[in-house]
């Protein structure tokens, strides 16, 4: 009797599900492996890129806009640029032929590819001015000035000054003094838009008295 019940009980138990070992042909397993490998490769590439140094050009001294670049103007420096590497001028490529500074390049800064242009692409031209009136001590290359001109009149004097150019950028500034320090003048190289050039050059050719006023407002 007990044996019969045991057999019935065994027949009533469901068969236990067996776990199958994963197969190499399982697409889910292959996909997981590929994702892991891809992630590892991406991390290795990123670390390698961040750690790699590239020699690019830096400016050895201030270079005014419109100045042709020569080997003596530049230094080779190793830097880690990562994804920004394409933005700067690599030493391996050399200096582009017939290139000039499209903007004022400051000593020590890296040379961006965009800062070099062909001469006919310059939209601002450097113009030299000699100023007798002193400028604020804080005025330097990169500062902005308004340019005023007073034209000569028939009484050997000058007419009322008028503003010719607003917020022109200074690319070079040199202060000179006489031997005894009796006179002091400032020589400026200012960047003038092509549209403003005729007005300023006309004033200079007519012996106008030029005055510049420091303009602390950021330029365009």
Identify whether residues 68 and 105 lie together within a single domain.
yes
Tally the domains of the chain.
2
Q: What is the mean pLDDT of residues 64-81?
A: 86
pLDDT at 202: 94
Phi, psi values for residue 161, rounded to 5° = -65, 150
Q: Which of 87-91, 121-125, 190-194 comes out lowest in average pLDDT?
A: 121-125
| Per-residue pLDDT reduced to its tens digit, 76-114 | 999 887 788 889 999 998 988 888 888 888 889 999 998
- β-pairing, 54-59 with 74-79? antiparallel
Identify whether residues 203 and 191 lie together within a single domain.
yes
DSSP string, 10-79: HHHSPPPPPPPPPPTT-HHHHHHHHHHHHHHHHHHHHHHHHH--EEEEEESS-B-TTPBP-GGGEEEEEE
Identify whether residues 64 and 127 lie together within a single domain.
no
Identify whether residues 138 and 199 lie together within a single domain.
yes
Identify whether residues 107 and 131 lie together within a single domain.
no
Identify whether residues 152 and 95 lie together within a single domain.
no
Per-residue confidence band for 57, with pLDDT thresholds at 50, 70 and 90: very high
30 domain-assigned? no
Using CB atoms within 10 Å of the CB of residue 213, give its burial: 0 to 12 exposed, 13 to 18 middle, 19+ buried: middle
* 0.85 exceeded by pTM: no
Q: Which two tokens stand for residue 69?
A: 């670049």
Identify whether residues 149 and 210 lie together within a single domain.
yes
Identify whether residues 99 and 136 lie together within a single domain.
no
Range of the domain at 96: 54-120
d(CA 75, CA 127): 28
Q: Which residue has the higher pLDDT, 34 or 189?
A: 189
Q: If you average pLDDT over every residue of the chain, what do you get? A: 79
Whole-number CA gyration radius for the chain: 36
- Residue 81: which CATH number? 3.90.1210
Q: Which of 43-47, 124-128, 166-170, 209-213 comes out lowest in average pLDDT?
A: 43-47
6 domain-assigned? no
d(CA 91, CA 74): 10
The percentage of the chain sitting over the pLDDT mark of 90, rounded to a whole number, equals 25
């Amino acid at each position: 009797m007990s044996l019969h019940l045991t057999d019935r009980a065994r027949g009533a138990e469901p068969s236990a599900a067996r776990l199958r070992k994963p197969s190499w042909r399982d697409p889910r397993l292959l996909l997981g492996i590929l994702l892991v490998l891809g992630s590892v490769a991406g991390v290795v590439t990123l670390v390698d890129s961040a750690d790699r140094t590239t020699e690019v050009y830096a400016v050895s001294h201030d270079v005014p806009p419109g100045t042709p670049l020569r080997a003596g103007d530049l230094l080779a420096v190793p830097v880690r640029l990562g994804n920004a590497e394409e933005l700067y001028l690599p030493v391996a490529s050399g200096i582009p032929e017939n290139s000039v500074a499209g903007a004022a390049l400051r000593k020590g800064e890296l040379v961006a590819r965009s800062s070099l242009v062909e001469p006919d692409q310059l939209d601002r031209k450097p113009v030299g001015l000699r100023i007798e009136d002193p400028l604020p001590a804080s005025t330097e290359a990169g500062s902005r000035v308004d340019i005023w001109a007073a034209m000569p009149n028939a009484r050997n004097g000058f007419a009322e000054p008028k503003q010719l150019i607003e917020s022109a950028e200074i690319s070079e500034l040199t202060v000179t003094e006489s031997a005894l320090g009796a006179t002091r003048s400032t020589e400026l190289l200012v960047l003038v838009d092509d549209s403003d050039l005729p007005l300023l050059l006309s004033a200079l050719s007519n012996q106008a008295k030029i005055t510049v006023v420091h303009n602390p407002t950021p330029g365009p």
